[in-house]
Structure 1
Amino acid sequence: MTSILIQKARPVLRGSLVFIIKMKSRDFIQWFTIFFVHFALTLDSIFLGDNIYYAVNCGGQEHTDLYGIHYQADPLRVGIASDFGSRLSIVRVDPHDAILYQTERYHTDDFSYTVPLPKDNGEYTLVLKFCEVYFQSSQQKVFDVLLNDEVVIAELDIFKEAEGVGIAYDRLLTFHVENGVLLYGGRRDSSGYIKITLAKGALDNPKINAFYIYRGPKTDIPPLQDILFDEETEEEQEEEELDGQADVRLRSEVSRFEDEPLVKDPYAEQDTSHMFIPFLIAFACFFPVLFCLCKL
């Protein structure tokens, strides 16, 4: 009897074992898929640190951003280092890297950063970082940017270009190095250095928040984040306005009903005693009819 039960149980046990193995296989496949996707996304992330020739957090301390770029503390002593922008939440940049746009160096006159020319030939990209943290309109701070004494950005108005205060703004300039000569815009400079000058204009003082020099084309540089929250904010504001209008209408309706006199009930003073007369007549006729029926 026992052997018969075992023989009958074997297929069931075998099927259960296969089911468990299949379940584990599916779990393993699911886990492996998640791991592979995560690994692919990790590989897809942008890392620029290995190709950075020079980087400075102007007016601030050293910092390593999300792309692996290590900015050294500002070595310049000319001008004024300021962290006035630290009271602002910078738009278009991850909060981790907001410090690059919150600190700055400005001066009441022209000032420059001088960097030795790279020895390796090739294409380079100069990334200049700006952010207006003080003025609330355009045409308040306007200045020129020069590369080796040649104007590369004329009459830069940060507020106008960034379209607001506390908004990150980058400018990318491409140049080449060929056997110790800097090539930019058809011009050749054999001075042996890169000189970035912020030149004072008629409106306020020149400034810069940060910059770096990257070995490679500007197409490798990730763009700043899009301002997506504006649409959401506008939708929320519209919803709040609609809710506010609905509340106003509701309150006006309630107040209107409260102010109006109560409607007098037309049946409140009506004499209802006559409604009982038919019942009394029926009740009075009931007993004679019953007596007659009993006589029959």
Structure 2
Amino acid sequence: MIILFFISLITFVNSLSLKQVLMAIDCGGQESFNSKEGFLYQDDQYFSGDSRVSDYTYNDVVYAGIAYTFTPRVYFTERHGNSFDYNLPINKNGQYTIILQFVELYFENEGERQFDIYIGTKRVIQNLSIIDNKHQKGSAKEVFIYIDIKEDKVFHQGQECNKGFINGKLKIGFRKGAADLPKVDGIVIVKGHNAGEEERNHLIDNWEQLLEENKKKEAELERAELEAQNMIVPDSVEPEEGEGLISFLLSPIGFGIIGFGMAVFGILMFAGENQDQKNKKIKKSK
């Protein structure tokens, strides 16, 4: 029962758990943790360049809740700066999806922060604004970038990204655009090009309904776990004739009473046998 609830919850959250997640980085984070989808976010590493970390754990927006995600922790920290890179180790040729994760916790309006994304020396996204017509301040945003790695070269939309794959490492760059500084909260590398972008759009379009359903599923999962640990009594059901007595006898209290009764019975039997033996000896002596 618990396993079924767990599988249902994970599948509900995002089909990304069904894909082959090769790597996930919690940018700015100092400790690794498991996402709600079931894969591991590593602590922040593989970065270089002019950047620094901000921690928004106690920010009012974070406290109110990050929208469009069931793993809000990845959005509590960020790496930002004038120009910085992530050089991520990838061992094999093939198709990959880069999922860049963002949330705007400072600016209020679209376009107040705009920056560029690079693969090697190739700019793949220009003047990205985290806030747009679907994402407001405090809304998690995921950007999907599809690449192919062939013979130690990386391609985006059929064009080679020069210096994008060197010594087995994929280079993702964040550069200043039209306004303010670039930032990133999380990076996920998925094998293949089917990384759940359609499911992501569905989640955004149906967020309130899915959020309520997820809360119910989590409550059901928690209750099932507590019942399994005998920490709460399941909802009472009218027992059939004789069923209540059997359930009571099989309970810890019932076993205790039965054990105590058997012990008393054994003592009485032992005392009776001793008395019989004494009586026999008295008769013989006479």
Alignment TM class, shorter chain as reference = 0.5 to 0.7
Tell me whether 1:208 sits opposite 2:184 in the alignment.
yes
Q: Is the contact made by 1:175 and 1:183 (CA closer than 8 Å) also made in structure 2?
A: yes
Secondary structure at the aligned position of 1:120 is classed as coil
Tell me whether 1:229 sits opposite 2:208 in the alignment.
yes
Counterpart of 2:78?
A: 104
Deviation string, structure 1 residues 149-192 (Cα, Å, up to 9, x no partner): 21111101111255310000001111112233222222235634
Tell me whether 1:64 sits opposite 2:34 in the alignment.
yes
- Higher mean displacement: 220-229 or 201-210: 220-229
Counterpart of 1:157?
A: 129
Q: Is the contact made by 1:149 and 1:195 (CA closer than 8 Å) also made in structure 2?
A: no
Change (3 A) 1:120 1:161: farther
Q: How far apart, in 1, do the equivalents of 2:132 and 2:10 lie?
A: 37
Deviation at 1:133, TM superposition (A): 0.5
Instruction: State the aligned residue count.
Output: 194
Which structure: greater strand fraction? 2
Q: Is the contact made by 1:131 and 1:162 (CA closer than 8 Å) also made in structure 2?
A: no
Change (3 A) 1:50 1:183: same
Change (3 A) 1:58 1:162: farther
Q: How far apart, in 2, do the equivalents of 1:211 and 1:90 lie?
A: 17
Q: How far apart, in 2, do the equivalents of 1:102 and 1:170 lie?
A: 15
Secondary structure at the aligned position of 2:200 is classed as coil
Q: Is the contact made by 1:122 and 1:177 (CA closer than 8 Å) also made in structure 2?
A: yes
Q: Is the contact made by 1:86 and 1:99 (CA closer than 8 Å) also made in structure 2?
A: no
TM-score, reference length from structure 1 = 0.57
Q: Is the contact made by 1:49 and 1:70 (CA closer than 8 Å) also made in structure 2?
A: no
Q: Is the contact made by 2:97 and 2:195 (CA closer than 8 Å) also made in structure 1?
A: no
Deviation at 1:194, TM superposition (A): 1.2
Q: How far apart, in 1, do the equivalents of 2:11 and 2:208 lie?
A: 25
Q: How far apart, in 2, do the equivalents of 1:60 and 1:40 lie?
A: 27
Tell me whether 1:187 sits opposite 2:162 in the alignment.
no
Higher relative contact order (CA 8 A, sep 6+): 2
Q: Is the contact made by 1:124 and 1:176 (CA closer than 8 Å) also made in structure 2?
A: yes
Counterpart of 1:292?
A: none
Deviation at 1:53, TM superposition (A): 2.1
Counterpart of 1:177?
A: 149
Kindly provide the amino acid, as one letter, of the partner of residue 184 in structure 1: H
Kindly provide the amino acid, as one letter, of the partner of residue 87 in structure 2: T
Deviation string, structure 1 residues 187-240 (Cα, Å, up to 9, x no partner): 23563431111101241111001011111223446516335439x9xxxxxxxx
Counterpart of 1:148?
A: 120
Change (3 A) 1:86 1:166: farther
Change (3 A) 1:216 1:65: same
Deviation at 1:38, TM superposition (A): 5.5
**Larger Cα-atom Rg:** 1
Secondary structure at the aligned position of 1:48 is classed as helix
Taking only the aligned residue pairs, the percentage that are identical comes to: 25
Q: How far apart, in 2, do the equivalents of 1:194 and 1:140 lie?
A: 29
Secondary structure at the aligned position of 1:223 is classed as helix
Kindly provide the amino acid, as one letter, of the partner of residue 157 in structure 2: G
Q: Is the contact made by 1:129 and 1:170 (CA closer than 8 Å) also made in structure 2?
A: yes
Structure 2 residue runs without a partner (length 5+): 212-286
Structure 1 residue runs without a partner (length 5+): 1-33, 233-296
Q: Is the contact made by 2:126 and 2:177 (CA closer than 8 Å) also made in structure 1?
A: no
Deviation at 1:80, TM superposition (A): 1.5
Q: How far apart, in 2, do the equivalents of 1:84 and 1:169 lie?
A: 16
